[in-house]
Structure 1
């Protein structure tokens, strides 16, 4: 018979057809997985369902899948970040006396020894180095 000569070619064509169908089916399963994850459903569960139930599982997924992807239309709009209000510190800074200008030059003479005294800004006082005391 004439078709007996082509039996190897037909077998190869059927084998190629099955491989193409398998590759397409793997792409469909991957698409179902990604689509289910995107829509907030269990992607691995739906991929297994489609794998075992075949075209019926795909039809079930297309019927029951949510209309919107997860995150669209859910919850209130996101507000821009606002830092928390600054609370006053419970600790007070150390006391600082207000600035006072040094006294007049007339008070620069030590009343004990009569020598000139030096104004010490840190202590806001006059100091006599010869008597070693503050005035």
Structure 2
């Protein structure tokens, strides 16, 4: 039981690390930036400071692509 309690912070830290990488990947992909590069930057180079840097410096979401069917009269 002591081993489980002692390893819990390590397991939670690893889960947070993986989750932040997945989140950064998906967020970068939605914003039109290279997702693998951003995820690696967040996870490897400066975690957890990399998350804060990405949140501060990330670009605005790109607008959805123009679809002419949205403006045609039916």
TM-score of Structure 1 vs Structure 2, range by shorter chain: 0.7 to 0.9
Structure 1 match to 2:11: 19
Structure 1 match to 2:43: 51
- Greater RCO (Cα-Cα under 8 Å, separation 6 or more): 2
Task: After the TM superposition, list the runs of 4 or more consecutive aligned residues in structure 1 that deviate by more than 2 angstroms.
Answer: 77-80
Aligned residues: 68
State the alpha-carbon separation in 2 of the partners of residues 79 and 47 from structure 1. Answer: 34
Unaligned runs of 5+ in 2: 70-74
Cα RMSD (Å): 2.0
Shift of 1:18: 0.6
Equivalent pair of 2:28/2:35 in contact (CA under 8 Å): yes
- TM-score norm. by structure 2 comes to 0.76
SS at match of 2:39: helix
Shift of 1:28: 1.2
State which drifts further: 51-60 or 38-47.
51-60
- TM-score norm. by structure 1 comes to 0.45
Q: Which has the higher helix share?
A: 2
Unaligned runs of 5+ in 1: 1-7, 81-135
SS at match of 1:24: helix
